Homo-oligomer: A and B are copies of this chain.
Amino acid sequence: MRDVAIIGVGVTKFGELWNKSFRAIGIEAGMKAMEDANLSGSEVDGIFIGNMSAGQFIKQKHIDALIADYSGMATRNIPATRVEAGGASGGVAFRQAVMAVASGMHDIVLVGGAEKMTDMDDTSINSVLDATADAEWEAGMGITFASLHAMMARRMIHDGIATREEIASFAVNSHFHGALNPNAQFRKAITLDTVLRSGPVADPLGVFDCAPISDGAASLVLCPLEDAKKYTDSYVKVSAVTQASDSLALFQREDITTYGATVAAAQQAYSQVGITPQDIQVAEVHDTYTVSGIMALQDLGFFKRGEAGKAVLEEQCHIGGKIAINTSGGLKARGHPIGATGVAQIVEITEQLRGSADKRQVPNAKYGLAQSTGGTGSAVTVSILEAI
């Protein structure tokens, strides 16, 4: 198996991009990544796309072919592959691309993640999102994604794992960083009070506990580590990218205050690299809801069970704190165009490790981690990148 490097990254602004089509944002992110890697495009021999629901959001399936076509690569018959794993679509696309280069089946691979969600009305959007829960045992019974997460939050509060205030503080952390990111959907710091007093969605979670509906795209260029220097001096190593699954429905788990798939994927990733959670200086975690952010910090081993919420409330997860979490603004403030999210996380960690994160720069980071989650933790990828 060959070692793999990330030699280019690109991301569009995230938000309500009503003046841009899915095609336009997909190509924008891809062009930025290729430019960043000093490529003309003719070097690319494979494309992997993370996308959750273009078939419903914009009535276009077969996004693999669309992107190959509109990037001009179909004229060279370059293979393109779309993967979907609910919210983890971007993370899984990244993993497939790493596999493609590691195996030797491809040399220079473009990874894309994109979603255009805001061209649809809110009720329809929610029915699309709920289809990543169990259709027979959850969504079909009227359970929404927000209510599933509200149950987890209630249980965490009940068990004394985190207080309502601690859970809410995750959004404050995300907005604090989002204000520093020019590509974020929301660029405004907020107070704890704003989260606690926000309109109810599914008790105890309010509007500010939930990631927004967004449009956006992100892109990466990968190549074998040994070839990276041919293209750029500014690259990072992919040290591990693991994936794990859990039951689709929440009721089938013994404990709903932890994601077994995150724990399994993280343990595998740390062991592959030979490090511990304490060696990570910067991480992007999948905060679809504040409660999933808190849970991630525990499941990834950054904090002991019962201590993550307290740490976030005490601002230990800001840049300069114990560990910098969601410096991009996370799903909550940077935005959450679903298929793009997992790829955008890798973009952020790459920027951090190569020292190009501007106002969000974490000093001297050696290892960075990204966690991408589908459904209620039914599919999880954990990636560890390393500065060179």
Interface set of A (CB-CB < 8 Å, partner B) = 1, 23, 52-53, 55-56, 58-62, 64-66, 68-69, 73-75, 77-86, 92, 95-96, 99-100, 102-105, 128, 131-136, 139-140, 242-249, 252, 260-261, 264-265, 374-375, 378-379
With CB as the reference atom, state the residue of chain B lying closest to A139: B59
Q: Tell me whether B378 and A62 are in contact (CB under 8 A).
A: yes
In the complex, chain B residues whose CB is within 8 Å of the CB of A62? 84-86, 131-133, 248, 374-375, 378-379
The answer for the CA separation of A96 and B84 in the assembled complex, in Å, is: 13
A241 to B135, CA, bound (A): 34
Instruction: Please pick, from B58, B81, B244, B248, the residue contacting A66 in the complex, using a CB distance under 8 A.
Output: B248
A243 contacts B378, C-beta separation under 8 Å: no
What are 12 A-B contacts defined by CB distance under 8 Å? Answer: A1-B104, A53-B55, A61-B84, A61-B131, A62-B248, A64-B84, A65-B245, A66-B134, A66-B248, A79-B242, A80-B379, A96-B96
Number of copies of chain A assembled together: 2
Main secondary structure of the interface of A (DSSP, over half): mixed
Contact residues in B for A81 (Cβ distance below 8 Å): 83, 85, 92, 95-96, 243
Chain B residue, CB-CB nearest to A246: B74
Contacts A79-B243, A85-B81; is A61 near B65 (CB within 8 Å)? no
Looking at the assembled complex, report how far the CB atom of A44 sits from the nearest CB atom of chain B, in whole angstroms.
Answer: 12
Report whether A69 and B247 are in contact in the complex, using a CB–CB cutoff of 8 Å: yes
B265:A77 contact, CB within 8 angstroms: yes
Extra pairs beyond A64-B245, A77-B261 (4, CB < 8 Å): A53-B55, A59-B135, A68-B379, A81-B95
Closest to A131 in B: B61
Interface centre among A79, A82, A96, A99, by most chain B C-beta atoms within 10 angstroms, is: A79
A77 touches B375 (CB 8 A): no
Contacts of A100 in B (CB 8 A): 99
Contact (Cβ within 8 A) B85 A245:
no
